[in-house]
Structure 1
Amino acid sequence: MRHVPPLLTRAAAVGVALVTLSVAAACGSSGGDDSAGGGNASGGGKFDPAKCQGGTLYVLNQKDITHLDPARLYTSGGGNIPSLLFRTLTTRNRAGGAEGAKVVPDLATNTGVASDDAKTWTYTLRGDLKFSDGSKITSKDVKYGIERSFAPELPGGAPYLRDWLSGAADYQGVYKDPAGIKSIETPDDKTIVFHLRKPEGDFPFLATATQFAPVPKAKDTGVKYENKPVSSGPYQVESYQKNKKLVLTRNPHWSRSVDKNRLACPDRVEITSGLDAAVINQRIFTGAGKDANAVTTDTDLGPSELARLGNDPELDKRVAKGHFPFLYYIAFNLKQKPFDDPKIRQAISYAVSRTSVINAVGGTALADPATTFLPAQKSMGYQKYDYFPAGTNGNPAKAKQLLAEAGHPNGITVPLTYVSDSKDGTGPGAATAVQDALKKAGITVKPQGLETDAFYEQTGDPKKEPGMMLFGWGADWPSGFPFLQPIFDGRQIPPQGNYNLAQYDDPKVNAEFDEIAKITDPAQAAKRYGQLDAQLGKQALTVPLYTTKDLVMYGKNVQNAFVSDWTGKYDVAMLSVK
C-alpha cells in the first residue's frame, strides 16, 4: 500500500526508485497502433515477435534500481526491470490496457488453487524451470526466497506476507530461524502451499511480487546476494556499478518455450542511472546513435516536451499513453471540527473546481477529473457516481446553501495542509486552486505547507493529523482491495503510518471488506468493491480531485511499447529494437 506521490508509488509497481513524475504508480491505452496490446509500428515495419531477437536496449533513468535482491524490492506484477531477472509464481499479463491488469501464471502452472474460504492457496510449479547457473528451480527455492525476505537484514520488500501468513508476524528470517515458516509447505519439489490467517482473495496478485522469486539456498550470500543474484528470468547480471550502470545479458538457461510471458527480444540491456530528466527526454526525442534504441522507466514528459506534441506527427507516434491508478483528493479528519459535520464536507465537495486543480498540475494531458474514489478501471470495480456535482468550475451557490444549513450563513474558515516541496496534486499549486475555489463559496482556507517528510509524519499520526489535507493514493496492484481498505477500514488505523485519514470506523464496512476477501474471482470481487466505493462516496469522506495520466517517450527504433493498466509504463520485457 503506497501513499507517496506517483513516482514512488510507481516504484512499487515497477520496482524502480523514481524521482519526479507527473503521475503515479498502476492503466491505459498506448501509443502507436498498440491500443489493444499489440506492437506499434515505430522502428520501421510491423512488429513481428517471431523476428524480434537481437540488438541492445538502452534504458536512461534518473535513479538506480533500488536493489538487485528480490527480497528487498517493493514490486507488483513482477516489477519492470526486476522482471528481466526474476520470475515469480504469478505475474501480470503482458498486454496493453485493461488486459494488462490481469494475473497470469509464471513459474506456476496456474494462478493458484484456493480452499478454506481463500485461506489456503496451492501452487504447482512447471517442470522445466532452471536458474541461470543451470540448476533446477524447485518449490523449496520459492519457499526459501520468501522466508529470507523476512530477515531484518533485508528490508524494503512488500509488507503483506507478515500480516497474511499464519504464524509469520514475528518471524525473523532464515538467518535467525532456519526452520522457516510452518505455514508455507513444500510437500514435493513442484508444490507449494500457503496457509493464511484470514481469507485473501487477492493472493494471486501478491504472488507477483519479487519476494516470490526463487533463491537457491546454496548461493545465498545474505546482504551481498544482490551483488550477483542468481537469475530465473530471461537475463542475468553481467556487471553492475550502483547508481551508474547495470548491464544485463541473456540467461542461457531461459527460453520462450518455458516462459510464455516475456519476449525478451534484445540480446543485451544497458540501464544507465543518474541522468537529468530533461536530458533523458531530449536524448530520446532526438534519437541520435544509440539513443534511437533508448527508453526510460522513470521519467515522464515535462512541459517543454508536451508543448512539442501535437505539432510533430513523428514524435506523437513515439509516445506511449496510460493511466496508472493514482488518485489525488482532499482528505478530511472526521475527529476534528468542523469536518465531523457531513454538510461541511458536502459544501467543500460542491465548491471545488477540478478544472483549476488540473490546470495547476499541468493540464488535461496529465490528469482526468475524478468524482469517485476508485479510478476508472474495470479491474478495480469502478462505478460512476457524482453525488455532489460541482461541474467543471465548482458550484458555490450549492455550497453556500449547505453552509447555511450547517449553521454558517456567513461562511467558515478551515485549514488545508499540503506538501510545500511538491508539484503534484498535494503541492502548493493544487492548494492555491482549492483555496480560490472555496473562497467563492464563503469558505476561507488557511493553508499550511509542510516539507514532504514532515507532511507524511504528521498526517500519518492520528493524534497529530490536521483537519483537511491534500493527499494522493495509488494501488500496489489493480484491484479494489489495496485502494479502498487502507483508506476506509477502521481496523487499519495504527499509531504511526496511518492512511485512514478520516479515521473512519464502521463495523459494517469492515465486515464487507472481510466478505469480499473471500471472493477468488477478480470480476466478482471488483463488482463488490465498486458497490462499496459508491456507498462510501455518499458520506463525503473525501473529495476526489483527479486521476493521473502517463505519457512516456521511446526511441525511434523501439517497437512494441504498449502500456498496461497495471504499471502505467511500457514493459521492458516486451520491447524490441531495430
Structure 2
Amino acid sequence: MTWRGSSLLVAGLLLAGTLTACGGGAQSASTAFDANNCQGGTLDVLNQDDAASHLDPARLYTSGGGNIPSLLFRTLTTRTRKAGADGAKVAPDLATDTGEPNADATVWTYHLRDGLKFEDGTAITAQDVKYGIERGFAAELPGGAPYLHDWLVGAQNYPGPYKDPNGIAAIETPDAKTIVFHLNSPHGDFPYLATATQFAPVPKAQDKGADYEKHPISSGPYKIESYDKGKSMVLVRNTNWSRAVDPNRLACPDRIEATYGLDPAVINQRLTTGTGKDGDAVTTDTDLGPSELAQLDNNPDLAKRVAKGGFPYTYYIAFDNTKAPFNDIRVRQALSYAIDRTSVVNAAGGSSLAYPATTFLPDNKNMGYQAFDFFPAGKNGDPAKAKQLLAEAGFSNGITITLAHRSADFNQDGPKVATAVQDAFQKAGITVKLQSIDSDSYTTTVSNPATQPQASVEGWGADWPSGGPFIIPIFDGRQYLAGGGNFNTAHFNDPKVNADIDAINKITDPDQAAQRWGQVDSEIMKQAPLVPLFHTTQLRLYGKNVKNAFVSDWTGVYDLSQVSVK
C-alpha cells in the first residue's frame, strides 16, 4: 500500500506559468541550533486537516498524522531524524538495532533496549509490542498498514486478539526483551516496515478496543493532554521518557498545540507574518501558496524560513500494455517522445515544486535512483520522432486516446497537468479526449481493471524510501489484481523482473538492494510500460522563532521531534 494522488498542494498553488526555483533561499535546516540546549516553550502546529483520523496506533497508516504519532508512539525501528538523504535511513528505536535477519531474511529478531517505560511508568515488554501488532488484525480496528497480513506465516486469517487471544504463532516472545518474526518469504525491507505505528507497544491491561484511541498510552516523549478530533490537540511531556532511552527524538518544546480546519492561505499568511504565537508555529500539511512563492526571490528573510524536502513521489501516464494501441511498444515509445515535460512541470506548479521524470524511481539514492532517458525528447518533446514511430506502428494518421484525470484542480494529477499532456500529444498527431473523474472515486476507478480508463494520470509514493514499495506494486506481474485494488495498471508481467524482485527481497543490506532496484527500474523502463512525467518536492514555511525545521525526505513534512522554539 502506498500514498497515491497526493493532495499536498493547496488550491490555487498550481500556477500555469514559470515559477523558478527558490534561488538560494530554500534550506533543509535552520542554522545555529544547539541540540543540547533546546528545551522549553510551546510549538504551534497550524494545519488544514487532522491527518491522524484515528489516534490508535493499530489504525494509523505508517507515520501519518503529520508526524504527531511519532511523538506518542515509539516502534521497533524509526527513521533517522536528519535532513536530506540521511533522513531516509532506518534507525533503532525501541530495539537495540534495526533487526537481526537469518540467512534468507525470512526470520527477524529484535531485542528491546533497557529502561523503556509507558507514560504511567510501567515497563515496556516484547509482549506489549506483540499485542500491539496483533490488534492491527482486528476487524474492529481497520486502517493500519496491511503488510503483516501477507508477510507473517499463517497470519492471513488471524482475527485479532479479541477473538483469538492465543495470538499469532509467527510472532514469538521468548522473554520480555526479545521478539521474533517468521515470514512467508524473504523481506529484506522488514526494518522499514518495523517503523510503522502498528509496531508500537500497547499494554493489554489498558486496551479498550475501539475506545483505546480516546487515550492511547504513550511510549514517546509526549502524552495527550486534550484532543478534540478534527479541531485541536494538545501534547505535554511524558515524564517517563528521556533522551537516555531515546537517542532519536530531541523533544525540545514543553508543549505542542495543534489546530486543525484552517484555510491554507490563512496558514501561510499567519506563518509569513509571525505575529505572537504564530512566530512559534509550523505546518505539516500545507506547501507554500502563490503569494509566498512570488515573494521568495525578493524577500530574503522569508526565504530563510522555507525548508525544502524531497519526499519520493512520481506522476506518470498509465495504460494497459495488453490492449491496443498500447500493446505495440512503438506506440508506447511514441508517447514518451511526444511529452513536453517543461509544460507539464509548469502545470504542476513550476520547477520549485516538480522536476522532470524520465525514470520511475525518484532522485533519491536510498531508493536506488539511476539517471537514464531511453526516449530523449529534450525539454519540450520530440513530436517528429513520435510521428515516425506511430507511422511505423501503422498509425500514419495518428491515434486518438482518452486520458482520465482527477477532477480537483489542486491535485497534480488534475486537469491542468492533463491539459498540458493533451497539448503536447496534439503536436505529435495524438488526439487526446480528457475524462474528468471525481477525486473521491478516482483511485477506485483506475485501479479496477473493469473500470480502468484507456489512459490516466496517476501518482505513486512509497510507504518507506526503498525501491521495493515503489517497484513491486506497479510492476510485479504477480501483484496484478483482476477484482480491483490493482496498482499494476500497465498489466506488466515480465518473468525476469519478477525473478529480480524475488532476488532483491533477500538482500538485507540497504545500499546493495538500492543498487539492484535502480537496475530493475532501467530494465522496466526500456519497455516503456508507462510515461513518467515528473517527481515532486516540498516547500514548507515555518515561524520566525522556530529552529531546526527541516522537511523529512521520508515523510515530506517537518520532523516535529527535532523542532524547537526560541
TM-score range, shorter chain: over 0.9
CA distance in 2, matches of 1:52, 1:77: 25
1:168 and 2:155 matched: yes
Residue matched to 1:221: 208
1:40 and 2:30 matched: yes
Within a 5 Å distance, the mapping from 1:317-356 to structure 2 comes to: 317-356=304-343
3-state SS in 2 of match to 1:68? coil
CA distance in 1, matches of 2:213, 2:10: 22
Residue matched to 2:169: 182
2:179 to 192, 204, 222: 192
Within a 5 Å distance, the mapping from 1:377-416 to structure 2 comes to: 377-416=364-403
Within a 5 Å distance, the mapping from 1:215-364 to structure 2 comes to: 215-364=202-351
Change (3 A) 1:115 1:388: same
CA distance in 2, matches of 1:21, 1:217: 47
Change (3 A) 1:321 1:273: same
1:131/1:232 contact within 8 Å kept: yes
CA distance in 1, matches of 2:465, 2:434: 33
Report Cα offsets for 1:375-422 as digits up to 9, x if no partner. 011000001110011111110110111011111112111221111224
3-state SS in 1 of match to 2:355? strand
Residue matched to 1:515: 503
2:74 to 68, 87, 109: 87
1:78/1:92 contact within 8 Å kept: no
2:146 to 147, 159, 162: 159
2:75/2:199 contact within 8 Å kept: yes
Within a 5 Å distance, the mapping from 1:133-152 to structure 2 comes to: 133-152=120-139
CA distance in 2, matches of 1:30, 1:203: 39
Residue matched to 1:6: 6
1:481/1:529 contact within 8 Å kept: yes
Residue matched to 1:56: 42
2:189 to 177, 196, 202: 202
2:267/2:283 contact within 8 Å kept: yes
Change (3 A) 1:503 1:490: same
Identity %: 65
Matching residue's letter, 1:556: K
Change (3 A) 1:21 1:298: farther
CA distance in 1, matches of 2:149, 2:73: 21
3-state SS in 1 of match to 2:298? coil
Matching residue's letter, 2:517: Y
2:525 to 509, 519, 537: 537
1:19 positional shift: 7.5
3-state SS in 1 of match to 2:531? strand
1:70 and 2:52 matched: no
CA distance in 1, matches of 2:486, 2:440: 14
**Does 197-206 or 305-314 show the bigger shift?**
305-314
CA distance in 2, matches of 1:454, 1:134: 46
1:560 and 2:548 matched: yes
CA distance in 2, matches of 1:549, 1:514: 31
RMSD, aligned α-carbons: 1.8
1:116 positional shift: 4.2
Matching residue's letter, 1:238: E
3-state SS in 2 of match to 1:462? coil
CA distance in 2, matches of 1:63, 1:81: 13
1:276 positional shift: 0.8
1:4 positional shift: 2.1
TM-score, scaled to structure 1:
0.94
1:361 positional shift: 1.9
2:116 to 114, 117, 129: 129
1:334 positional shift: 1.3
1:439 to 417, 420, 426: 426
2:66/2:285 contact within 8 Å kept: no
CA distance in 1, matches of 2:166, 2:450: 40
Change (3 A) 1:3 1:240: closer
Matching residue's letter, 1:468: A
3-state SS in 1 of match to 2:496? helix
CA distance in 2, matches of 1:3, 1:294: 26
Residue matched to 1:12: none
1:20 positional shift: 6.5
2:512 to 518, 524, 529: 524
CA distance in 2, matches of 1:93, 1:531: 26
Residue matched to 2:484: 496
- Count of equivalent residues: 557
Residue matched to 1:506: 494
1:33 positional shift: 9.5
Matching residue's letter, 2:413: T
1:475 to 435, 443, 462: 462
Change (3 A) 1:466 1:318: same
1:77/1:477 contact within 8 Å kept: no
